[in-house]
Structure 1
């Protein structure tokens, strides 16, 4: 069994993990990043709302980041999957799918989340391409176009309200009986927003770009894009294995600096917040890396 010992182990080599890796590499820390290579935005054609990189592909941004992070000689990246984490004698021991064991003084979870696809034909194929989660990331590209919102109750209403900033051509698909309040229905009628309560049968698309939504009664609705908030699970249960607290929604609990409820364990990125974007993940990773380095200095000076 191969065993490696480092000062900081970062699990997850996407934007938060790479950003933390750079902060720690520049702090002369011995760092290992374990990355499974499955970022949640791997289907998304372009990343937006990130100055200096607006419109680039997510992979192009990540590839450039990897090159820059690996320029720091104390940082290494391996392609593997961490499957078990334990705390032993004040250190963390992480086992990977390949059978390697990494022992680290500190642990940073940058593992992200997994979006759970709805059981609607075409939904998964369009996710991140024309079925979208964030208007700040993608709303500008579909501004003033025909946009569907898949949601119900307060969640659906709030998403319609948000999207009204980008387009006035909105349709709310509740995918079954609506659970809107009378006041919400009145407000939607006031803004001439159609509410469709029939179940969705299929999302018609070409290579992930939707053209229409077909209902169970056969009626089609022509659309340019759709927004939806889907459930999620943590990409890994490693934080739970270590005893880190989670919010009711399922995010890892951290303070403003990325510290979890378990001493020595930090977390950053999508696994910790509903505010999901490349820019925010990078900022969170950078902050966590800097604070983590300061913690190690305080422990030894």
Structure 2
């Protein structure tokens, strides 16, 4: 459908289409579409899902993206370590990607939440919260993960801004600053080893009794990294910018930023419903072609890797799209 046809359909005159508007119009149109059967359904329309959709769209595969529009990095101010987009906001990258994917007419968008899935005669059947049912031969799960925030006042407001998870995504921007690492054991030691190259003022806050091996403690001491065995009651901040950590014993310490290792869960229950195995860390188990343990189901993005970044999500999505197209070709040619 051309832009002129879309405008005619909705009775809009003199409309200037911005980057966001094509997707908005496509979603409104396709939420009312009669077509319910596709070759591929992609659940999740962020970086991994859109990348998969582009690969499929360029191969003229009839593809449906189901997305609720709630990305996990919505309050992260800038995205880094992604060639051509270093320093852009997550929203800017997403809007450019959506605008480019809408150019492939075989890819359709559905604005809504996929709530359940099951196998069907044709492959898979996905039901949304609005009661719409769609079927497809192949399924891509690009639903991401949900961070489980600790019960610390101010933590959520700082998450992704000055309290971060990854030195590759954020480390350069917070280099040479007084830094806290809110973690314990192996995860804290791993973060400290990486962050030590970015700043020399590091304090590990273990939120309780420290849990390190002797050789780890020796290295922590050698690099003058402090260990604080206290629990945190509050993070004082200004608009998400960390200023002070308040401990439960009433003491405080000023910091400029922090790394934190927090638990997560899958953002969707559909992988479990369909029998997809998880790793011991809670990610969807996939092979190098992004195939899950269930035939015909692929997973990409944060839900299936510890390497949590826009660049990795885009890469894994592209792989899943190419592999699915090859499978569909082998099944029909």
- Asked whether 1:61 is paired with 2:90, we answer no
Match status 1:21 vs 2:39: no
Following the alignment from structure 1 to structure 2, what is the Cα–Cα distance between the partners of residues 131 and 42?
A: 14
In structure 1, the residue matched to 2:325 is: 293
In the alignment, does 2:131 pair up with 1:78?
Answer: no
CA contact (8 A) 1:174 1:195 kept: yes
Equivalence for 2:185: 153
Matches within 5 A, 1:123-202: 123-202=155-234
1:270 equivalenced with 2:302 (yes/no): yes
Deviations 1:263-299 (A, max 9, x none): 1111111110010000110011011101100000000
Quote the Cα distance in structure 2 between the aligned partners of 1:104 and 1:62. 25
Unaligned regions of 5+ residues in structure 1, if any?
A: none
Question: Which of 121, 124, 132 is the matching residue for 1:89?
Answer: 121
Corresponding position of 2:29: none
| Deviation sequence 1:151-171 (CA, Å, 0-9, x none) | 111221121111111111101
What secondary structure, in the 3-state scheme, does the structure 2 residue paired with 1:77 have? strand
Looking at structure 1, the residues matched to 291 and 172 of structure 2 have their Cα atoms a distance apart, in angstroms, of 34
Q: CA deviation at 1:237?
A: 1.0
- Matched length: 301
1:42 to 69, 74, 90: 74
Confirm or deny: 8 A CA contact 1:3 1:100 kept in the other structure. Answer: no
| Residues 1:3 and 1:84: Cα distance change in structure 2 (over 3 Å) | farther
User: Separation in 1 of the partners of 2:327 and 2:191?
Assistant: 40
Kindly indicate whether the alpha-carbon contact (under 8 Å) linking 1:3 and 1:103 is maintained by their aligned counterparts in 2.
no
Q: Distance in 2 between matches of 1:3 and 1:87?
A: 19
- Could you tell me how far apart the structure 2 residues matched to 1:102 and 1:91 are? 11
Asked if 1:104 is matched to 2:136, the reply is yes
Deviation at 1:17, TM superposition (A): 0.2
Structure 1's 184 and 168: CA in aligned 2 closer, same or farther, altered over 3 A?
same
Cα deviations by residue, 1:186-215 (Å, 9 ceiling, x for unpaired): 222221111111211210011111011111
| Residues 257 and 287 in structure 1, CA contact (< 8 A), matched pair in contact too | yes
Q: Which residue of 2 aligns with 1:120?
A: 152
What does residue range 168-247 of structure 1 map to in structure 2 within 5 Å? 168-247=200-279
Contact kept, 8 Å, 1:152 with 1:179, in 2: the verdict is yes
User: 1:79-132, CA deviations, whole angstroms, 9 ceiling, x for partnerless residues?
Assistant: 100011010114100000011000111111011000110111111111111110
Larger deviation, residues 276-285 vs 158-167: 158-167
